[in-house]
Structure 1
């Protein structure tokens, strides 16, 4: 069995989708499961949005449990642009596993995310000059890898191809998929592997052959369909704005109050339910405002209204944009385990909810593009 621990649920789903490419039986779960029914077990967390001490404690706990499964590969899925508490979590997990070397390859060249000469680039632009500089929780102020990791007390080495893997944690530079494959081909025992989806794909390729997935007709998503958007990325916000007939934006009264009343939630919920019943589709989103609010508070409010909607009307297809938003919604709905069924695009994976009948969930990172199936 292969075990992955991811720092958010969209990353977990992305790796689950990669597992499908190799014909693996995949389970995505909130805790370590002892089962012989899967080849790839992906554990999702919300560690990226936790306080550092809480995130480290959670990773230690899950790593101890996963260690007992004696996996053939243990992988840590991090954010591809290194948001979160990457080094502290890696260091703690390496101690649990008794491993002294760690290799982190966070890049995703297929999406223009690369590391060169110690700096991170997005489509050949230094990443701190892109929209990632306005991330509400982890704004990126520097493209220098050491600065992005933000842990001055934990040494890290940025290494290029041909350099030996040192003790401690190293970041492998890569600009192309061939560069990523190079790091995967250096695979050796007693090294803790971490990074993005591209590195995991390359590691799997050293262990399994990809399967030929039969070409099928374009997937038709089921209805009633609820789309929940928690992204701050302008390109995706503009797409939602163009679908105004389906959008139920968070009302002012809910946005501005720290504890909205039940009546205010009910009014918002009623609007969403009305659109679901009338058109079979509805979008829940937050309109851009000059007055800023705490990201955690907004996620809680979005998750609460989704819970109310599910109480009032059936939803068979749930689409969620943004990892922290997806985690909040899933917790509110009491969902814990999923079986991936289709990879619609890179990082966009449709899953069957194992805890609820007749519900499929599709999630993606807020910074990723919409697949064709999401263009209503």
Structure 2
């Protein structure tokens, strides 16, 4: 049995999807109240969206829960581009587990996210020159992995023994390299990082299976986009107008326009049985606290659900997902289908929920559903 502790919900869902691909039964929860008989238990702490002290406390409690389950190993899912409190959270985990070493491999070569000579690249471009440089909470200004981590760390080169404390790999540009690093993880080391790293660890004990089954199909479908990632924002802005009810600055600054917005959203749902909820161009993420943006969006989605039966939510952005789940009082999920890497459908009571990271592509069937045909 395996326990994963993830710092946001889309990361947790990504590893749930990978686990499904190996025929493993998965239980995913927002707190320590894990349910069911599972091969993989995943705890999403949402710590990346918290203040630092709260984040460390959440990770400490999750690790204590994990220890009680006596798993074969514990994996720490971090952001693949090292946003958040990665080093501090790992130090807390090492203290609770009594382990003195951690190996961090954040790269996802299968998704074009690689590390070469200590530099992080997105499709061959230095990450500091990509959209991640404008992240409203954790802007990435350097492509050097040690500087990205912003904490004393040993940059580990091929052939070197793991040092005490935090080690981060200097090169992970292919699946073969990721497998080689995974082979060096043992009971004296915490493994932390990306989906590719987690899958490399799974491959040591389990066999990949052919994808089976189909996603569950729903009627009334609401796509909630809480990401600031430019490609996702522009895709909706240019091609999703027929289905979109935008939340603007007047709503964020008070109650003005809420009734008009809700009426438009209901009209779209009634006419099309589908709706996109997104922020409009008047919302500058740097002008609002990210937590306030997420809270307001969650309030409006909850309000819609009180007036119209929503069968499925597609939520873009892990912190947005966590805010919506809190508003709905949802804590535990049964992952059932992986659309594609990082885009996972789950059951939560009577509702279907699909989540995706803002920087990942939208699955083709959903693009077709909303007529989001063009690349931007």
Matching residue within 240, 248, 260 for 1:251: 248
Task: Quote the RMSD (CA, aligned, Å).
Answer: 1.5
Please show how residues 38-77 of structure 1 align to structure 2 within 5 Å. 38-77=38-77
Task: Indicate yes or no: 2:275 matched with 1:282.
Answer: yes
Matching residue within 331, 335, 345 for 2:330: 335
Inter-partner Cα distance in structure 2 for 1:265 and 1:34: 37
Inter-partner Cα distance in structure 1 for 2:283 and 2:299: 24
Task: Indicate yes or no: 2:368 matched with 1:371.
Answer: no
Please show how residues 72-151 of structure 1 align to structure 2 within 5 Å. 72-151=72-151
Inter-partner Cα distance in structure 1 for 2:156 and 2:331: 38
**Per-residue Cα deviation, 1:241-282 (whole angstroms, up to 9, x for no partner):** 211010000034213x1xx23x64333222212211111000
Tell which deviates more after alignment, 267-276 or 137-146: 267-276
Inter-partner Cα distance in structure 1 for 2:16 and 2:316: 17
Quote the offset at 1:35 in angstroms.
5.5
SS in 1 for 2:236: helix
Task: Indicate yes or no: 2:176 matched with 1:178.
Answer: yes
Quote the offset at 1:210 in angstroms.
1.5
Query: With structure 1 as the length reference, what TM-score do the two structures score?
Result: 0.93
Query: With structure 2 as the length reference, what TM-score do the two structures score?
Result: 0.93
Inter-partner Cα distance in structure 1 for 2:263 and 2:76: 41
Check 1:290–1:278 CA distance in 2 against 1; reply closer, same or farther (3 A cut). Answer: closer
Matching residue within 165, 190, 193 for 1:192: 190
* Number of the residue aligned with 2:262: 269
Unaligned runs of 5+ in 2: 371-376
Matching residue within 337, 346, 350 for 2:341: 346
Inter-partner Cα distance in structure 2 for 1:369 and 1:339: 23
Conserved in 1, the CA contact under 8 Å of 2:27 and 2:34? Answer: no
Inter-partner Cα distance in structure 1 for 2:211 and 2:303: 38
SS in 2 for 1:142: coil
Check 1:290–1:15 CA distance in 2 against 1; reply closer, same or farther (3 A cut). Answer: closer
Matching residue within 158, 164, 167 for 1:167: 164
Tell which deviates more after alignment, 182-191 or 123-132: 182-191
Check 1:268–1:99 CA distance in 2 against 1; reply closer, same or farther (3 A cut). Answer: same
SS in 1 for 2:242: coil
Matching residue within 319, 322, 338 for 2:314: 319
Inter-partner Cα distance in structure 1 for 2:89 and 2:79: 12
Inter-partner Cα distance in structure 1 for 2:295 and 2:34: 31
Conserved in 1, the CA contact under 8 Å of 2:73 and 2:187? Answer: no
SS in 2 for 1:319: strand
Matching residue within 209, 212, 219 for 2:210: 212
* Number of the residue aligned with 2:374: none
Conserved in 2, the CA contact under 8 Å of 1:56 and 1:92? Answer: yes
SS in 2 for 1:245: helix
Check 1:190–1:294 CA distance in 2 against 1; reply closer, same or farther (3 A cut). Answer: same
Quote the offset at 1:220 in angstroms.
6.8
